[in-house]
Amino acid sequence: MLEARNIGLTLGGRPALTDVDLSLSSGEITAFVGPNGAGKSSLLNCLAGSLRPDRGSAFLDGAPVLNIGAEELARRRAVLEQEPVSQAPFTVAELAELSTPIDVSPVDASRLRHNAIVAVGLSDLSDRSILTLSGGERHRAHMARALTQLAAGELTSGTPGWLLLDEPTSSLDPRHQLTILTAAKRATIAGSGVLIVSHDLTLAANMADRIALMRDGRVVAFGAPSEILTESVLEDVYETKMQINRLAQGDWAVGPCYS
Amino acid sequence: MKTIRRWGGFRERNDVAQAVNPDGLTVRRGSHRLTFLALAAVLVGLGLAALALGPVAISPDRVIATLFGAGDGVESAIILQIRLPRLLLGIAVGTALALAGASLQGVLRNPLADPGLIGVSAGATVGAVLVIVVGERFGAGLPDALRPWLLPGAAFLGAGVVIAFVFALARRGGETSVATLILAGVAVNTVAGAIVGVMVYISDDQQLRDLTFWTLGALSASSLQTTLIASAIALLTVPAFIRGTRALDLFQLGERAAFHSGLNVERAKVVVALATAVSVGAVTAAAGPIGFIGLVAPHLARMIVGPSHAFILPTAVMLGVALILAADLAVRLAVPPAEPPIGLATSIIGGPFFLWLLIRNRGRLHA
């Protein structure tokens, strides 16, 4: 269980998070959606332990994340940052293995890395320097790094961990959006909890078991897509005319009204 | 079409595999054994030359004989009393500057970081110069056993104060700004230059002679005792740097992602800063401020062995020592028996190299 209890945070004089109470369950995909500046990434980083809230705390299985050491925390949750940086010319394979704890044997690390690279569809490019890749390919390489870390954490700690993804699909084409989401879905089937921050409402509605709708640093609605997604709630949050459609095969199509 | 050639890099790979990608880009990988062997051979050659060459040339077989205790009085005096300590100090200086430079560049994700540029060497210089000029007056009460440690101690304090100051100043929103760090270094270097200037102004003739090499550095200006103490201190910090190779790799992801990957970022930065202050302080106390080795050696190492710090650090050390020994030989043989400061030789190589880096990395200073 990954929880936010009464979290409050001010960034640059502006309230970024106010009274956030939320509890995420393993084995599910939870999506954070909401307008720019709603506090989605800040909340993700508080839950990941890399941002210290001014009030309240994040808890991982009942323990405050800030009390868990960096090394132990890395075994229990992996993070894909919104804008991963690396100017060093690591190959895709080297990058994918970079966040793996050192006590994982080279054989295991190599196997987990290989699986992750296959899962993000980069097998053909695994010996290429990441500096020569396109933005989307590089993003997938970092996703492979997060997946390897997650699998290695499960291997060394014996329990499935958490995968926290900050806008994992924003730079990807439709095919590779599905590739990444399938990998995330597979992680939940294996027992992990997945958190996705996204602007893509259609993606959230179709893939997430639960959606937290955020605005101005608060969670204004939290529940299964069918429970909380209504046009009026979305219009209130996004301050623009929205439409929600259920397509013939059951898929959701959610977005602004264009006409 | 751009071709990237690198040798080795991955822990379970020792074969030389070649992958040619559809667009013609080639990544060549294999063992670094050849690189290491070649560098080791160069080092042995330079080490022998450092013992053999000088105003009095001694043949290599006599050098080896002397090292095993079979030299005559003059040979023994020259090699054991003069050239061996000088060689030892050269190794310590090259090692300390290369490790500090490689680690600072790794932590800051920027190839322009260097203990000299950010003012650490200048801080050490001020500490040492203060001891030379006014230390006698205040240090007179010190027990004899502690006296040889006063100079490296003061240099370490100076280096430590500067590195703590510039890192604190450059810290913004959880990340460290390299631009601010280097600008702070410029300010520190200016102030340090002024303090050294004042000390030169008020010093007497003997002190002035002790001080002259502080402007550009030399391997032969310190007493045997100071040389041995400084070299020992510098070489003792090597494990602290070497243990940080994985941390330095993770820093390449940015500080937040490094934390997400399990790195205690603040502790890793403190270790690098402390090890840098101790080792650069020590070698600066004995050899003066020698510039640019900490910039050039790690950069060349990265070009040869790729981005993994497990390979960058040892390669940078070998290159740093080789550069120092070559520079020392150059100044020793240029206009005998006079000896220009070694910093002159390293600056002649390092200055243009720094300019080339600036031009190559235009726009990246803001990181």
What is the predicted ipTM?
A: 0.95
- Counted domains in chain A: 1
Q: Which stretch of A18-22, A51-55, B32-36 has the lowest confidence by average pLDDT?
A: B32-36
Contacting residues of A for B12, CB less than 8 Å apart? 106-107, 110
What confidence tier does B297 reach under pLDDT thresholds 50, 70, 90?
Answer: very high
The DSSP H or E segment spanning B50 is helix B33-52
Contacting residues of B for A50, CB less than 8 Å apart? 256, 259-260
pLDDT at B340 over 90: no
- Asked if B140 contacts B305 with a C-beta cutoff of 8 angstroms, the reply is no
Q: Which stretch of A186-200, B94-108, B177-191, B228-242 has the lowest confidence by average pLDDT?
A: B177-191
Scored b (16 or more CB within 10 A) or e, A20-55 reads bebebebeebbbbbbeeebbbbbbbbbbbbbbebee
Distance from the A84 Cα atom to the nearest Cα atom in chain B, whole angstroms = 7
Q: How far apart are CA A41 and CA A165, in angstroms?
A: 9
Q: Is residue B367 part of a domain?
A: no
**Strand, coil or helix: what is B271?**
helix
Highest average pLDDT, of A147-151, B65-69, B227-231, comes from A147-151
Mean pLDDT over all residues of chain A? 94
- Asked if B189 contacts B308 with a C-beta cutoff of 8 angstroms, the reply is no
**Among candidates A2, A13, A1, A16, which has minimal Cα distance to A55?**
A16
CB contact set of A211 (below 8 Å; sequence gap of 6+): A30, A31, A33, A204, A205, A221, A222, A223, A224, A225, A228, A229
Distance from the B330 Cα atom to the nearest Cα atom in chain A, whole angstroms = 34
CA dihedral B102, B226, B336, B212 (to 10 degrees): 90
B272 with B162, same domain?
A: yes
Q: Is residue B318 part of a domain?
A: yes
B13 with B38, same domain?
A: no
Sheet containing A2-11: which strands, arranged edge to edge? A14-24, A2-11, A55-60, A63-64
Mean pLDDT score, B325-351: 84
A138 touches chain B (CB under 8 A): no
CB pairs under 8 A between A and B: 93
- Asked if A91 contacts A135 with a C-beta cutoff of 8 angstroms, the reply is no
- Best residue in B261, B270, B302, B312 to probe A by mutation, most A CBs within 10 Å? B261
Q: How far apart are CA B192 and CA A245, in angstroms?
A: 70
What confidence tier does B144 reach under pLDDT thresholds 50, 70, 90?
Answer: confident
B26 with B90, same domain?
A: no
B189 touches chain A (CB under 8 A): no
SS (H, E, C) B300-330: HHHHHHCCCHHHHHHHHHHHHHHHHHHHHHH
Q: Is B70 exposed, middle or buried (0-12, 13-18, 19+ CB in 10 A)?
A: exposed
B115 with B14, same domain?
A: no
B248 with B167, same domain?
A: yes
Q: Which stretch of A28-32, A117-121, B12-16, B118-122 has the lowest confidence by average pLDDT?
A: B12-16
Compare all CA atoms of chain B with the CA of A50 and give the residue at the minimum distance. B256
Beta bridge partners of A3: A23, A59
Compare all CA atoms of chain B with the CA of A97 and give the residue at the minimum distance. B10
- Best residue in A52, A94, A111, A113 to probe B by mutation, most B CBs within 10 Å? A94
Does A75 sit within 8 Å of B10, measured CB to CB?
A: no
What confidence tier does B94 reach under pLDDT thresholds 50, 70, 90?
Answer: very high
Contacting residues of A for B9, CB less than 8 Å apart? 91, 94
Highest average pLDDT, of B68-77, B145-154, B275-284, comes from B275-284
Q: Is residue B366 part of a domain?
A: no
Q: Given B246, B254, B307, which is nearest A85 (Cβ)?
A: B254
Highest average pLDDT, of A11-15, A212-216, B147-151, comes from A212-216
A256 touches chain B (CB under 8 A): no
B201/A197: higher pLDDT: A197
Q: Is residue B9 part of a domain?
A: yes
3-state helix, strand, coil in chain B (%, to 5): 70, 5, 25
Specify the residue for token string 């290159």: B319
Contacting residues of B for A44, CB less than 8 Å apart? none
The CATH number covering residue A243 comes to: 3.40.50.300
pLDDT at A15 over 70: yes
B41 with B75, same domain?
A: yes
B20 with B82, same domain?
A: no
Share of chain B above pLDDT 70, in %: 87
Q: Is residue B244 part of a domain?
A: yes
Does A70 sit within 8 Å of B265, measured CB to CB?
A: yes
**Among candidates B55, B93, B4, B11, which has minimal Cα distance to B286?**
B93
Scored b (16 or more CB within 10 A) or e, A122-148 reads beebbbbbbebbeeebbbbbbbbbbbb
- Best residue in A87, A103, A157, A163 to probe B by mutation, most B CBs within 10 Å? A87
pLDDT at B174 over 60: yes
- Which residue type does B272 have? V
Q: Is the pTM of this model over 0.90?
A: no
- Asked if A151 contacts A116 with a C-beta cutoff of 8 angstroms, the reply is yes
The CATH number covering residue B108 comes to: 1.10.3470.10
Beta bridge partners of A219: A214
- Tens-digit pLDDT profile for residues B12-36: 333 333 333 333 333 444 568 888 9
Residue B207's pLDDT is what? 79
- Counted domains in chain B: 2
Quote the domain boundaries for residue A76: 2-256
- Asked if A161 contacts A65 with a C-beta cutoff of 8 angstroms, the reply is no
B5 with B79, same domain?
A: no
B9 with B130, same domain?
A: no
Q: Is residue B365 part of a domain?
A: no
**Strand, coil or helix: what is A31?**
strand
Mean pLDDT score, A207-222: 96
Residue B56's pLDDT is what? 84
What confidence tier does B361 reach under pLDDT thresholds 50, 70, 90?
Answer: low
Residue A159's pLDDT is what? 93
B4 with B79, same domain?
A: no
What confidence tier does B139 reach under pLDDT thresholds 50, 70, 90?
Answer: low
B148 with B235, same domain?
A: yes
A163/B210: higher pLDDT: A163
Quote the domain boundaries for residue B17: 1-31
CA dihedral B285, B290, B292, B298 (to 10 degrees): -50
Residue B74's pLDDT is what? 87
B23 with B103, same domain?
A: no
Mean pLDDT score, B234-245: 94
Residue B206's pLDDT is what? 77
A90 touches chain B (CB under 8 A): yes
Mean pLDDT score, B190-206: 87
Does B21 sit within 8 Å of A125, measured CB to CB?
A: yes
